[in-house]
Structure 1
Amino acid sequence: MNLRYIPMPDEEARRLWQGGRDAYGNRPERRISDGEGVPCRHCLRNVDAGEPYLILAYRPFSSVQPYAETGPIFMHAEECGPPDAHSFPPILSSSKDYLLRGYSADERIVYGTGGVIAAEKLEQRAEELLERPDVAYVHVRSAKNNCYQCRIETA
């Protein structure tokens, strides 16, 4: 199975870089990275030490509904390019485990799909979930803080 790693959409990132507001209507906060644990949700790489980044509330869903979680994320403060959707993202190599959860085509959690998975088994578990007819895509989230990392789909 060919997996695709889907970052924050380009148009959403551009809007934020141009001073747009986050999911709560606030302007993103600007900080300088210490190089530790600052994963950009647009390029899916870590923000290097000394580089500016934004902290903002993000809702990775197309509509506001009961399952549309909103939470804090980081992204480069300056424009960065999108990742290769078919390559394993560097930000998913920075932790020993992640929370994976399957979603239906109408953006609802598919109960029974969520669980903390060891990083080395992430792709295997994503493939298992995506083989299910009721799972349209998978979210990868931080196992410790539930922060959204990226979305996984089949190619």
Structure 2
Amino acid sequence: MPEIERLGEPAGRDGRGRFLKKAAQKFLLCEYPRITEQETGCVLRLARAVLPATGGAAMTAFRCVPIATEIADRFRRTGLDDNGNAIKSVEASGAAGRFPCRHCLRCAASGQTMLLGSYNLPWPRGIYWTPSPIFLHAEACARFASENEVAPIVRLNALVSVRAYDAADQCLYELGHVCSGADVDAPLERALGDARTAFVNIHTARPGCLLSRVERIDG
């Protein structure tokens, strides 16, 4: 398959092409027991780009959904969160991924001022409903609007929890998965590809804070 051969082209520069080529070859040879989670994620990203152009079956289209701009503006304007707590102002520092903005879905640069407050999740309702601590850029930022792209704040997170819910807001436990944000493609595709799934929430696995809701793009 020429698309697979071209994957090796950048290998001399940083090795990523060689890794992806090897992963794709394992799939073509049906070497499933030897396929790692990271390799699965790489091949899924390849398939999103290659299959539509070659007439193959398309992967599940999706979007990562940030919080509403109206909510972000209210946090900034009033200094109060969804539960009446005073918003806390902090300066971003340390390793990448520590201060993820839930509006632009990008992590803060070192030295940027971030706001910390409690956000009431719109979904799921009922038994599984929960508020979540979130960070926001103190200054206005553009709302994330990309399609078929895992949010940067998910990619950069060391450990995320994928949680799928049905139309009745019930958690689909068997579709849940914990992994590195860099390897989230395969469990996310599995959850979105299940007909029972109405939406997916991705949380930080350790503190349990919401990173982003993910929904299918119909049509």
Same structural fold, with TM-score higher than 0.5 when normalized by the shorter chain: yes
Aligned residue pair count: 155
Which position in structure 2 is the counterpart of 1:142? 204
**Partner of 1:34 in structure 2?**
93
Q: Within the alignment, does 1:12 sit opposite 2:71 as a pair?
A: yes
Task: Note closer, same or farther for the CA distance 1:83–1:127 as it changes in structure 2 (3 Å cut).
Answer: same
Q: Using a 3 Å threshold, how does the CA distance of structure 1 residues 94 and 2 change in structure 2: closer, same or farther? A: same
Higher alpha-carbon deviation: 124-133 or 55-64: 55-64
Give, as a single letter, the amino acid of the residue that structure 2 aligns with 1:9: A
- Work out which of the two has the higher radius of gyration on C-alpha atoms and give 1 or 2: 2
Say whether 1:80 aligns with 2:141: yes
Distance 2:85 2:64 in 1: 27
Aligned with residue 108 of structure 2, among 40, 47, 58: 47
The 3-state SS of whatever aligns with 2:126 is coil
Distance between the aligned counterparts of 1:84 and 1:49, measured in 2? 24
Deviation per CA, 1:48-79: give whole Å up to 9, x if none: 11111111111222586321111211110111
The answer to whether the 8 A contact 2:156-2:182 is kept is no
Write the letter of the residue equivalent to 1:68: W
| Cα offset, 1:29, TM superposition | 0.9
5+ residue gaps, structure 1, are: none
Percent identity over the alignment is 28
- Matched ranges for 1:50-65 at <5 A: 50-61=111-122, 65=126
> Residues of 2 paired with 1:12 and 1:67: CA distance?
22
Could you tell me how far 1:4 is from its partner in structure 2?
Answer: 0.5
Ranges in structure 2 where 5+ consecutive residues have no aligned partner: 1-59
Q: 3-state DSSP class of the match of 2:178?
A: strand
DSSP 3-state at the match of 1:105 = coil
> Matches of 1:101 and 1:63 in 2, distance apart?
10
TM (norm. structure 2) is 0.64
Residue 129 of structure 2 aligns with an amino acid whose one-letter code is A
Contact 1:98 1:118 (8 Å CA) reproduced:
yes
Q: Does structure 2 retain, via aligned residues, the 8 Å contact 1:32–1:52?
A: yes
Query: Structure 1 residues 63, 139: CA separation in 2 closer, same or farther (over 3 Å shift)?
Result: closer
Q: Look up the SS of the partner of 2:174 in the other structure.
A: coil
The 2-side partners of 1:64 and 1:93 are apart by: 26
- 1:20 positional shift: 5.4
- Equivalent AA in structure 2 for residue 66 of structure 1: I
Between 90-99 and 132-141, the greater mean CA deviation after superposition: 90-99
| Partner residue, 2:187 | 125
1:6 CA displacement? 0.6
Once residues 93 and 132 of structure 1 are traced to their aligned partners in structure 2, the CA distance between those partners, rounded to angstroms, is 22
Letter in 1 for 2:194: R
